[in-house]
Amino acid sequence: MHRVILPPGLSTTIQYAKNGRPRVLAQPWLVWIERLLLLLGAIFASVYLSWLALTQMNFLYPMWHDLIDIDQTIGTYAPQNRYKLGFEQTTKPERSRLFAAVVDAIHNHGKGLEGLSYHDPAGRPLGRLLRKPEIIHLRDVARLIDVMRPVGIGALITTVVLLVVIRRRRLVMPPISLLLLYLLLPLGAIAIGLLFIGPVKIFYWLHTLVFPPGHQWFFYYQDSLMSTMMKAPDLFGYIGLSWAALSLLLLIAFLTVVKRVLRSA
């Protein structure tokens, strides 16, 4: 290992890899910044990609339909609905189709929500799925997704650019376990806070932050087939857990690839 003095007053360390090519151990503050930016970019990119993947899988709605007894919820509350009739006659495939249609709509600026209809097992239409307050709420969700989309794409681009820069400079990166430790410590603190305050309270509080004042976002089962079909907020909790798990797997996979790419530099 050799010390090289660089003008003006900067110094760096050269460590030669097994292939004889030099790796640069840059100044500590610069390395920490690059590590942090790469990790943050990888986190946002993993979250965004896992969301896209779950979208293609209909957020596993058919599986959750059975596991959290959505059929029982619909059987209990759909007959009590004050505005819509007959939704308890729908089948699991029909509910999965409707859920997928809602997912498609909120990823397409809310288009097509007004036309969603539900049918009985024979295919006869029974009525419109959504009321006006529900359509307004789902359009708010669509606008939120429209805001998040460029953030996710930006995170992907930033992560790739940083990886190229770090590889070209042949900077040494810390072990994956250490990078994950940087992530798990704040996430652990957040998880403890969620458990202490209560996930449902946090969920409702976030709604007050991200949705416009005066726009309804809480719907009783007796007033909303949307809430009944999704068994809100229970379904969102399970979707959140699957989203977090898939994001973590993608992050670990990405960091593993990063480590191998930098090792071969």
Range with the lowest mean pLDDT among 151-160, 198-207, 240-249? Answer: 198-207
Q: Comparing C-alpha atoms, which of 138, 163, 143, 147 is closest to residue 227?
A: 138
Cα–Cα distance between 4 and 13 in angstroms, integer? 6
Asked if the model's pLDDT at residue 208 lies above 50, the reply is: yes
- Which two three-digit tokens encode residue 52? 């896209």
Q: How many domains does the chain have?
A: 1
Mean pLDDT of the 221-231 span: 97
Mean pLDDT of the 8-37 span: 56
Percent above pLDDT 90 for the chain: 57
Mean pLDDT of the 13-17 span: 46
State residue 173's pLDDT score: 64
Asked if the model's pLDDT at residue 144 lies above 70, the reply is: yes
State residue 31's pLDDT score: 67
Q: How many CB atoms lie within 10 A of CB 100?
A: 16
Asked if the model's pLDDT at residue 227 lies above 90, the reply is: yes
Asked if the model's pLDDT at residue 261 lies above 80, the reply is: no
- Rounded (to 5) percent helix, strand, coil in the chain: 70, 10, 25
Mean pLDDT of the 1-13 span: 42
State residue 181's pLDDT score: 73
Mean pLDDT of the 30-42 span: 78
Q: Comparing C-alpha atoms, which of 57, 65, 79 is closest to residue 225?
A: 79
Mean pLDDT of the 104-129 span: 97
- Which two three-digit tokens encode residue 88? 């308890």
DSSP states along 177-219: HHHHHHHHHHHHHHHHHHHHH-HHHHHHHHHHHHS-TT-----
Give 10's pLDDT tier (boundaries 50, 70, 90): very low
State residue 150's pLDDT score: 94
State residue 27's pLDDT score: 58
Q: pTM for the whole thing?
A: 0.81
Range of the domain at 186: 2-263
Higher pLDDT, residue 201 or 78: 78
Q: Which amino acid is it at 22? A: P
- Number of helices (H) and strands (E), helices first, in the chain? 9, 5
State residue 162's pLDDT score: 84
State residue 263's pLDDT score: 72
Range with the lowest mean pLDDT among 11-25, 27-41, 195-209? Answer: 11-25
Higher pLDDT, residue 255 or 183: 255
Element (H, E) at 128: strand 125-128
Mean pLDDT of the 38-63 span: 94
